[in-house]
Amino acid sequence: MQITKREFLKKLGLGGAAIATGTAFGDEYVPLKGRLPEGSCGDPENVWFGKHIFPLSHTMEDGESAFLKDGKVIQPAREIPIFHETDVVVVGGGPAGFAAAVSAARTGAKVALVERYGSLGGLFTNGMVLIVLATSAKNDGKWNLVTRGVCEEFMTRAGRFGKNFCNPPESTCPSAHWLPTIDPEAAKVIMDEMIAENKVEMFFHSWGVDVIQDGNAVKGVVFESKQGRQAILAKQIVDCTGDADMLFLAGGDYSQVTCPITTVFRWANMDTIKPPKGAKSEFPSHGNEGNPDARWGGASLITGNGLSVRDLSAVEVEQRRLNWKRVMEMRSTPGWENVYTSNSASQIGARQSRLIAAEYVMGRKEIVEESDKITDCIGWCGADGPHKAFRVSYRQILPKKIDNLLCAGRCLGKGDSIDTFRLIAPCFMTGQAAGVVAGLAAQKGVAPRVLAYSDIAKALDAQNVYHE
């Protein structure tokens, strides 16, 4: 029996109101129209239920599988299909990658964004690191927003969602020491909208696994998906993987550090807590989250190698065990009986791993002695706790030796004791700068390192980036 979308909605009790309003984006649900064969589950008439099962030929060239020889696994050479060609490809869709894609597109470049998960935001959304730190600097006793551009635009949109989605629920982003906590689902929707508005080609469920090189110049990336390995050719590549994966695959130099690793959990029914009068508890009963029902936090910090499959796997299991223990302790405490874990982060939180050997590496000494002397500033890291705001150099996102590749986010050129760069707002800022540079370089047909800073500064100004 065939059922139409209208009948399906009626059975759910949604009726005409849902049909009239469409989806959250205000359109009928036909996102796959024209992309799949007629009669498939992508057909608008059958979008809710698959109607047909039919055979499809391979989308990739047949190739010999890996095999064992003399105790070694051998992968035979094979052709990799070219999936897409563009001006700029960004690998990694966290805050840095999102900002890089949007800003590169705003220079007029054609842009593709490759993300291994099914949503944007990286550790911000999928890792539920929900607070946007290091946004502002103090001057003459007043806080002023310094992470402008894409970061400010994103936060302004989040503020307009209001209560339960952004805390504090400002209608516009104020020029103040604003440290909002943003609902991860709201953040994902905002990012989707901005990517679509700027006509970025978005490829989810795609893991960047290799680079295409001509000498020291990178010419594209190879990604892995359910369709196998496919290639994207591009004039410029922006590595926003957080772990400098593309730089590593291109043979670039880097250092590696261990770090605290954690998984974030959300606890629900926190607004129902009614402890006995006079009772004290070590459990969290307050927080920054906009939703009064929920609180978020990690079970504990476990030091490990953020690149090790064994370390990451062990930490995932241990974090779940510790969180479950903590929730059971809460539930056995008078007044806390209804608390439970509503969800856990789908992406584990490793704070840092690879740090690139950039043309300029900033340590604490450089922040104190050289920040005011930087002549190629691409933005500011706002104040974080006791740490003052400081300028960021263009050369920090420019790796040595490798051309046509920029690295933004937590892996840029910095000392391993500088934590500010891994925070959400600085990732937005360095990602936007990398996107601007990549877009300019692609259109001029040159390597980023030969661009004049005056051209970069002009493009940053056009995108409302504060870099004085």
Domains and CATH numbers, the chain: 5-46 (no CATH), 136-257+353-462 (3.50.50), 259-350 (no CATH)
User: Which parts of 252-308 fold into alpha helices (H)?
Assistant: none
The predicted structure's pLDDT at residue 288? 52
**Polymer length in residues for the chain:** 468
pLDDT tens readout for residues 176-206: 455 778 889 999 999 999 999 999 999 999 9
The SS3 assignment for 337 reads: coil
More confident residue, 375 or 5: 375
Which of 8-12, 154-158, 297-301 shows the lowest mean pLDDT across its residues?
Answer: 8-12
pLDDT at 317 over 90: yes
φ/ψ of 161, rounded to 5, equals -65, -30
pLDDT at 160 over 50: yes
Please check whether residue 358 is in contact with residue 398, taking contact to mean a CB–CB distance below 8 angstroms.
yes
Torsion of Cα atoms, 295 then 346 then 113 then 311, to 10° = 120
Interhelix angle for 95-106 vs 184-197, to 10°?
20
